[in-house]
Chains A and B, each alone.
Chain A
Amino acid sequence: MDNESLRNKLLALQSGDKTAFEDIYNHLKTPMYTIILRITHDRSISEDILQEVFFKLYKSPPKPPIRKPRAYLFQMARNLAIDHVRKLPQYANWDSVENIVYLPLDDFSTKMDIDDALKTLPLLECQIVSLRINGGLKFREISDVMNIPLGTVLWRYQKGIKQLRSILSEV
C-alpha cells in the first residue's frame, strides 16, 4: 500500500469505514510492531503500544491534508515507544534515551542473531535502521519523524548497517 492508497484509506476511516481501519492495520501491523519492538525489546509492551496507536487512530484519524500518512503513523508509534522507554526507572538518569544500548558489544555470544545484533546499536541508530528497512520510510521522512538532520540520519544509518554487517560476519 503506497502513500496514496493509505491516504485514501484514512479518508475512508474518517467517514467511519471500519473495513478501511482493518486494511490499514493489516498493512502496517508487522512493520509497526517491529519498529516498536526494536525500541522497547518487549513483546507484550510492544503489543500494548501497537494497540494504543491504532486505538488513537480510530478515535481521531488525522485530518486532511495528510501529506505523508505512513511517516505520520510511524511517528505516532515511535513517540509512544520512546515515551515508554523514557519512563523506565533504569533509564531515568539518561540524558537521552537515544544513546541507550541494550546489549554492549563486548557482551555478545557466538550465537548472536540479527535481533541481538540490533540490540548492540544505540537506540537512535536502531530506530533509523528499522524505520528505513522495516518501515520503508525515506531518509527525509525519518529525519522529520525523529526531528534530526537528514545528514545525521544518513550517517547513523550507514554506521548502523556497518556495525550489523561486522557483527554478522564475525560471529
Chain B
Amino acid sequence: MSDCRNIQNGLAAYLSGDLSGDSALSVKEHLAMCPKCKNEFENIKKILDGADSLHDDIRKVMATIDWDALPGRITQAVFDKEKAARPETKARTFWKAVFQPRWRPVYAGVAAGLVLGVILTLVFLKPGVLRTPPGAKYYASNEFIDRVEFQMAKRETLDYLERSEYLILDFIQSPPGKAQLLQKDQPAQKAKDLLSKKRYLNQQLDRFQMAKAKEICNQIEFLFLELSQISEELTADEIEKIQKLVDQKQLLLKIKLLKKEIEKSEV
C-alpha cells in the first residue's frame, strides 16, 4: 500500500521523464504487477497526453496568422506609443502651466470683461449698431413726412415768388436806358436759375394741390422765359413791351397776394 502511494506520487515524474534510471525501472516493474497503479498511470497519461495535444491546437491557430505583417504592426505600435509618451516641449509646458485649471475663473472673468467691453464700445461709440448715428434718418410716419414736405414746398414757393418779385421789380423800375445793362448779365441768369427752380416747384405744387400758386408761378415762368431768351441787344421798345406785359398781367400784385395767402396757409 505504501509502495503504491509512492509509485503513484512518482507517476507524473515518470511520465515526464524526470525520474532517474533506477527509479524509473522500479516504477515500470510495479506497474506491470499492480492493476490499481496501472490504472492510475493510464489516467495521468491521459491528462498529460491531452495537455500535450493542446500544443497541436495552438499550431493550427498559428497557421491562420500572418506572421510577416505582425512585426510591422508591432513596430508601428512601438512608434505610436513612443510618440504619445514623448516629453513635452518647453512651449507646451509653458502653455500647460498658463492654462492650469485653477486659473480658469480668472480667464473666464477676463474673457467676460472683454466681451462686455466690446459690446459697450459698439453700443456707445460706434454709430449705427444700437445707437442712431447723428444725421441718420429717423423713423417718421408718412403723415409727418407729408407735412414736412408741404411746409418745405411752401417755403420754396415763397422764396421763388420773392426772388421773382425782386427780379421783376428790378426790371420794370429800371430806366429804359439802363435796363439793357442790367439785363446784360444779372436778370437773364437769375431768370434761368428761377426757371430751373420752377421745374422742382411744379412737382411740389401739383402734389399739394396748390393750383392758384401754380397758375401764378406759370405766368412768372412765362415772363422769365421771355427774359432769358431775349437777345442782349434789347431795344427800348422791347423792354417797354415786357414792362407793359407785367403791368397788364398785374404780376407783382398777384405775387404779393399769393405770398400772403401762402404765409397764411390758405392755398
Do A and B assemble together?
Answer: no
